[in-house]
Amino acid sequence: MRIRCPYYVLVAIYDFLVWFIVGGVVLGITAAAVIIFAQSRKAKRLEVAPEPAGEVAAAPTADDAKAVAQPLETTSDQVPAADVPEPPASRLTRLRRRLAAAENPFARGLLALLATDRISAETWDDLETSLITADLGVGPTTELIDALRAKMGVEGESDPAKAKAVLREELVKLVDPGLDRELKVAGAPGVVLVVGVNGTGKTTTIGKLARVLVAEGHSVLLGAADTFRAAAADQLETWGSRVGVPVVRGPEGGDPASVAFDAVDRGIADGVDVVVVDTAGRLHTKAGLMDELGKIKRVIERKAPVSEVLLVIDATTGQNGLTQARVFAEVVDVTGVVLTKLDGSAKGGIVVQVQRELGVPVKLIGLGEGADDLAPFDAAGFVDALLDA
Give least dist CB 74 to Mg ion, A.
18
The secondary structure of 108-133 as a DSSP string is HHHHHHHH-SEE-HHHHHHHHHHHHH
Measured from the CB atom, the residue of 52 and 344 that comes closer to ligand GTP is: 344
For β-strands 362-366 and 336-340, DSSP reports them as: parallel
Query: Which residue's CB comes closest to ligand GTP?
Result: 281
Picked from Mg ion, ligand GTP, none, the partner binding residue 340 (CB below 5 to 8 A depending on kind) is ligand GTP
Picked from Mg ion, ligand GTP, none, the partner binding residue 293 (CB below 5 to 8 A depending on kind) is none
CA–CA gap between residue 377 and residue 205 (Å, rounded): 14
Please give the DSSP secondary-structure letter assigned to residue 96. G
Give least dist CB 307 to Mg ion, A.
21
Q: Mark residues 173-212: x for contact with ligand GTP by CB under 6 A, - for none.
A: -----------------------x-xxxxxxx--------
Give least dist CB 173 to ligand GTP, A.
26
Query: Which one of 332, 367, 385, 389 is in contact with ligand GTP (CB under 6 A)?
Result: 367
Measured from the CB atom, the residue of 202 and 208 that comes closer to Mg ion is: 202
The secondary structure of 252-300 as a DSSP string is TTS-HHHHHHHHHHHHHHHT-SEEEEEE----TT-HHHHHHHHHHHHHH
Spatial CA neighbour of 342 closest among 371, 316, 370: 316
Strand partners, 366: 374
Spatial CA neighbour of 240 closest among 68, 86, 85, 361: 85
The yes or no reply on residue 96 touching ligand GTP (CB under 6 A) is: no
CA–CA gap between residue 327 and residue 325 (Å, rounded): 6
Strand partners, 376: 364
Picked from ligand GTP, Mg ion, none, the partner binding residue 258 (CB below 5 to 8 A depending on kind) is none
Residues at the contact surface with Mg ion, assessed by CB under 5 A = 202-203, 232
Picked from ligand GTP, Mg ion, none, the partner binding residue 320 (CB below 5 to 8 A depending on kind) is none
Give least dist CB 149 to ligand GTP, A.
34
Task: Indicate the burial class of 16 (C-beta count within 10 angstroms; 0-12, 13-18, 19 or more).
Answer: exposed
Query: Which one of 95, 174, 192, 232 is in contact with ligand GTP (CB under 6 A)?
Result: 232
Instruction: Give the CA radius of gyration of the chain.
Output: 30
Q: Mark residues 335-354: x for contact with ligand GTP by CB under 6 A, - for none.
A: -----xx-xx----------
Q: Catalog residues that contact ligand GTP under the rule CB under 6 A.
A: 196, 198-204, 226, 232, 280-281, 340-341, 343-344, 366-369, 373
